[in-house]
Amino acid sequence: MKFCSQCGSPVSWQTPSGDHRPRFVCSSCSTVHYQNPKIVAGCLPLWRGQVLLCRRAIEPRRGFWTLPGGFMENDETMEQAAVRETLEEACVRVEGLELYTLFDLPHIHQVHVFFRARLVDTNFAAGEESLEVGLFHEAEIPWPELAFPTVGHTLEYFFEDRVRQLYPVRNEPLAPLIALSRRTPWNNFDR
């Protein structure tokens, strides 16, 4: 950020009076420009024991497999965002969404939220942001080719929880070092 979005004057990086941390402040109209974390919402779409994954057609991580998901927009709920992203990336509808995993990613100013969901049918197809879309049994998951650590963790938790048929909501931070120190197959490629 270099200019004030209200008046167009240059901004400076300073701690406003009464505040505890530096912000972008307008040199002319004094507007304080707050910057806050963004929510990425996605689905773990299920069909008869299989999980739907999308192979990304766009950067970052083009060519790698992901659960459908993306940035939550204004005017929608997290659940609506997850449904919309699944429709956009896999051209298919989901229902029965249940909040499942929430990962804090403070180093990139994001929170990733995934919902377990049922596919309404198997008429999926690659959306504009996907190269291909497919259903995978647990043994078929392409662990070394997953796009993001939060996708890998969500899948790991799911297969673990499925044994007991209990799916507690999970919230945990995922810092770069934590991700690297976990010896899970899907993040080998991340080193």
Q: Where does this chain bind a copy of itself (CB under 8 A)?
A: 1-11, 18, 20-21, 33-39, 71-80, 88, 99, 102, 104, 106-107, 109, 111, 128, 168-169, 171, 173
Structure tokens at 27: 């040199």
d(CA 12, CA 156): 44
- Select 10 or 142, whichever has its Cβ closest to a copy of itself: 10
Between CA 120 and CA 5 the distance in angstroms is: 43
With respect to a copy of itself, which residue has the nearer C-beta, 87 or 135? Answer: 87
Q: How far is the CB of 104 from a copy of itself (least distance, A)?
A: 4
Burial of 86 (0-12, 13-18, 19+ CB in 10 A): buried
Largest CA distance in the chain: 60
Q: How far is the CB of 80 from a copy of itself (least distance, A)?
A: 8
Cβ closest to a copy of itself, residue 35 vs residue 165: 35
